[in-house]
Chain A
Amino acid sequence: DAKTTQPPSMDCAEGRAANLPCNHSTISGNEYVYWYRQIHSQGPQYIIHGLKNNETNEMASLIITEDRKSSTLILPHATLRDTAVYYCIVDNAGNNRKLIWGLGTSLAVNP
């Protein structure tokens, strides 16, 4: 599995967009980019995933660069409840796969 690099921490003002970057320069052609988040003392929560096109759902948008070597997760209007550790993982889509977890980005949304 490709390795990802994320900044260890970020701050964001409540109501503003939070843009979380992720580098995955060794990603291979069949690997998807997944984003999860983990609120303190809870299990991880799936946010979004994509292969090469930008994706949007009710939680966030995912922007993947054309060369697929990096991506950005966008929370359009961050709230205090979005304070969490955000993990970017690259992985083959499908069952029976192991996710390799880094340390993620600890996002603090401030009032």
Chain B
Amino acid sequence: GAVVSQHPSRVICKSGTSVKIECRSLDFQATTMFWYRQFPKQSLMLMATSNEGSKATYEQGVEKDKFLINHASLTLSTLTVTSAHPEDSSFYICSATPLVVGETQYFGPGTRLLVL
């Protein structure tokens, strides 16, 4: 089946530092990857849509200069949280859609970020 991995699974960092999260589709090529954020007891909130070889599309209220997204290949997208602050502490989840039209999204296991 389609597998999406994320790395790291958990990260703790100091306020003001930057954190990079990788999302990989392991056994399929993904034209589009999505980045979500989920706060405790809340649903998933879409942050941005990442298309291979082009700039990401950010949802309203998401700062593109703070959450840098790079989709360099059909199997890898990265999210960098720049100058992280405690309020950025959250569960970050990526998903990927295969090249085949009509396929569903497949989700990564998530990355737990804690900013001290």
Residues of chain A whose beta carbon lies under 8 Å from any beta carbon of chain B:
34, 36, 41-46, 49, 87, 93-99, 101-104
Contact = CB atoms under 8 A, between A and B. Distances in A.
Contact of A103 (B6, B43, B97, B105): B43
Interface residues of B, number: 28
Given A41-B91, A46-B106, A95 B101 contact: yes
B101 A94 contact: yes
B102 interface: yes
Contacts of A87: 43
B34 interface: yes
Q: Is the interface of B mostly helix, strand, loop or mixed?
A: strand
A94 B107 CA distance: 16
B25 interface: no
Interface of B: 4, 6, 31-32, 34, 42-46, 49, 51, 91, 93, 95, 97, 99, 101-110, 112
B93 A44 contact: yes
Given A41-B112, A101-B44, A103-B43, A46 B104 contact: yes
Given A96-B49, A99-B46, A34 B102 contact: no
29 contacts: A34-B104, A41-B91, A41-B112, A42-B110, A43-B4, A43-B107, A43-B108, A44-B93, A44-B107, A45-B107, A46-B104, A46-B105, A46-B106, A93-B101, A93-B102, A94-B101, A94-B102, A95-B97, A95-B99, A95-B103, A96-B31, A96-B97, A98-B34, A99-B34, A99-B44, A101-B43, A102-B43, A103-B43, A104-B43
